[in-house]
Chain A
Amino acid sequence: MKRTPENCPQVLSALFDVTDGHTMSVAAEHGAYSRLETGAGARIFGRSQFEIIEDVFASGIRGRGGAGFPTGMKWRFVPRNGEKPVYLVINADEGEPGTFKDHFIMDRDPHSLIEGMIIAGYALGVRTAYIFVRGEMLPQIRRLNSALQEAYEAGFLGENIKGTGYNLDIYVHRGAGAYICGEETALINALEGCKGQPRLKPPFPAISGAFESPTVVNNVETIAALPWIFEHGPAAYKALGTSMSPGTKLFSISGDVAKPGVYEIPLGMPMKEFFDLAGGVVGDLAGCIPGGSSSPVLSSDECDDATMDYECMKELGTMLGSGAVMPFNTTRDPVLMLQTLTRFYSHESCGQCTPCREGTGYADRVVDAVVAGKGRMGDVEFIQDLADQFEWTTICPLATADAWAIGGFLKKFRSYFDAYLDKSDEKDAGRDVASLQPGGFW
């Protein structure tokens, strides 16, 4: 399967279509672990931590989990005074609706992740690293564990790795079903055996994260790109993509396209070209969610000019997020789509902050009422107002993501909602009378 456009190097997807690419022997044929060679020309071992961190900084790679924070910057914050151990935690709690790229990496190229973790671990002074995998992905956990076993046997993990004196253990930690664990502090809580609820910041994990120690939480894709960066040099990576969004990125595309799947494209590629790479849109494009469910939806007009990078998406009032692209055609009902999203966020709210705990559920129930034909005039504004009330008022951005999803759909597909309200039996019902009757609630 063709996963990249012409002239784009396969930074991440090189092994995706290689039979048994997840095994050490096949991966090694394709260069896995070659970056870890020692002696003359060593790219990692034997160099200083500082140089490796600065190389990552120079590559310009940005976190691929959704927020797009520069990875090198994140690493620079980590104190290296040796007072407390530094932890590396890989965020493999992939659950943003529409995203399945990390699923692919763990399934088809786990060794790139492990090698990247060794590089990151070496640079950050990590003794123990964890891969937090979402609970639903047991097959991927099995893949990772067998890949880790191979890496231990080959001497890339454990103590005194390849005679360098560097020690690293990597453990897989299985989550148990909570989308919010994709938020880094919630993930740390889940790792520590607590409810996966985001923590107040500051302190940020780079200063005090897992086990009250400096912790770097990176996405699978970010780390899996490191071997390529150290193979070809940071400048080569930075030359890909755009100046502000260097490199390539995996995009998971699904929905109304002919060939859904994971594609690797340089950042900055026009969205339409990307659709064509994925076999083209099926039917007439109505809109597209460009970066996972949390990113506000784009109308088909906006899709025409959009390019796949952080900056353009920001200009359009949405975001690249985790790179989950969901085009949908004119036969789809945006109202039902929004209903699944509000349900998703209310189901996944951790229940900590009031606006998110109560608000996402309330907004969902109002959307349900609209879908069920019990909407009232003014409900669109009402839902939007509720969304505004839980946007940016919570510890983590989950409620904000819900607010954006709501805002995007209400704004760009307003007519669909109005059509529901027009058909509603109760469209003219008042808002306040029944609620004041005794026994209305209790």
Chain B
Amino acid sequence: MSKVGIAEVQPQDLTLEGVAERMSKHQARIDELVRRYPVKRATLLQVLWLIQEEFGWVPRLGIKWAAGIAEVSPVHAFAVTEFYTMYKQVPPARWHIRVCQTVNCLIQGSEALIAHLEEKLGIACGSVTEDNLFALERVECLAACGNGPAVQIDDEFLYGPEELNQHEDGWHTQAADVDRWIERLRAEAAAHPEWETVDQLGGIILDSLGHPGAPKASGSPNQETYAAAPPAINLNAEGANGKITVHALIAPECSKLVFERSDDDLGFSEVGAIDPSTIKGPPGPKTVTFDDRVDIGKTVYYRAIAHSGNRVATPSSSIAITTEARPEADTEYNLKVLSDEKSGKENGGKKEVNADIAQASEKTANKEEGKK
């Protein structure tokens, strides 16, 4: 709608106290809004909606009053009101018809529909009918392209033949449908001259505990221990000639990772611990490696236990590995990881890394060939 003349349409008899008085009936919602955010400023958009609900539009004193509630400067609130397109800064018509003009709706016939509506209502887009019942506006995408050309009457979408907001797939707005609605609304206006207000916040919950620390809020913050301590995951092992390297992925908060070994997957004992802070890398999860030596040909089991401060996570699932002798090349190794048939314990049982075997031996073979 045209903005020229906004200063002239401000109600002359309205005062800041008058706004406060009219807004007092919305106090429960305002209290709820203040509870929701850590800073009052964040309520600004919502309070402006309440002003629009109460007045039908946003008079400048309303902006100022909202600024007081949100504890921002009046000019900040004014700039915000000017920035967003949906705050009406002039007294509105009873029904606001928005027609999308963006690309999909153009393809689907928005220009024809707008021309039809302009003729039907006898006004150009951007203006109000003489009886002040309808305002017609071209808008950008309404995110209802599937039923294009998208039409909104006040806040309700027209995307079905019968009721507003009754969604029907593949239905397209036709001129006749909008005509029917206009007639229906005209009849409604004749029957009920008083305007109805619509809850502009869509029925917010009124008794939330609120953001911890916010005014009038009673919500309490989360305890750090609500979730389990982060375990080590993705345990993996490789090795040959008795040398074994174990990999594990740990959380950034992990402060110590203990590796344990067992011969029988039952009695584990610690074989080493690693301080992740010594591992360089970007913030985030870290991959920890641990080197160990065992007798060639022996099958051993590893698991890792992650400590985060004084919290100890449940042990990771264990992994079994058997090293084989590869005398032809001491530095190159073949690896064979046995999958444990007894899986099914906690944390999803054993890790299988058989898929890696073929790949690894292939690599080894290639390297050897290259040497020759």
Contact = CB atoms under 8 A, between A and B. Distances in A.
Direct contact of A and B (CB under 8 A): yes
Contact of A135 (B84, B146, B222, B225): B84
Interface string A31-68: 00000000000000011111100100000000000000
Nearest to A145: B203
Contacts of B219: 127-128, 159, 167, 169
B145 A260 contact: yes
Nearest to A122: B227
A270 to B, nearest CB: 22
Nearest to B211: A128
A100 B146 contact: yes
Interface in B61-84: 70, 72, 76, 79-80, 83-84
Contacts of B208: 169, 171
A76 to B, nearest CB: 4
Contacts of B30: none
Interface in A59-102: 76-77, 79-82, 85, 94-100, 102
B221 A97 contact: no
B205 to A, nearest CB: 6
Contact of A164 (B103, B169, B226): B226
B104 A138 contact: no
Given A46-B228, A54-B249, A192-B42, A97 B145 contact: yes
Interface stretch (B16-24, B149-157, B318-326, B331-339): B149-157
Given A145-B203, A328-B107, A48 B38 contact: no
Given A98-B145, A141-B202, A174-B202, A194 B80 contact: yes
Nearest to A80: B253
A76 B224 CA distance: 17
A262 B155 CA distance: 22
Contacts of A196: 83-84
Interface string A145-165: 110110010000011000011
7 contacts: A48-B230, A51-B231, A98-B145, A125-B222, A138-B200, A159-B219, A169-B211
Interface of B: 36-39, 41-46, 48-49, 70, 72, 76, 79-80, 83-87, 98, 101-104, 106-108, 139-148, 152, 155-157, 165, 167, 169-170, 198-205, 208-212, 219-231, 233-234, 249-253, 283-285, 313
Interface of A: 1, 46-51, 54, 76-77, 79-82, 85, 94-100, 102-103, 107-108, 122, 125, 127-128, 134-139, 141-142, 144-146, 148-149, 152, 158-159, 164-167, 169, 171-179, 190-196, 211, 252-256, 259-262, 289, 293, 324, 326, 328, 332, 336-337, 340-341, 343-344, 347-348, 350
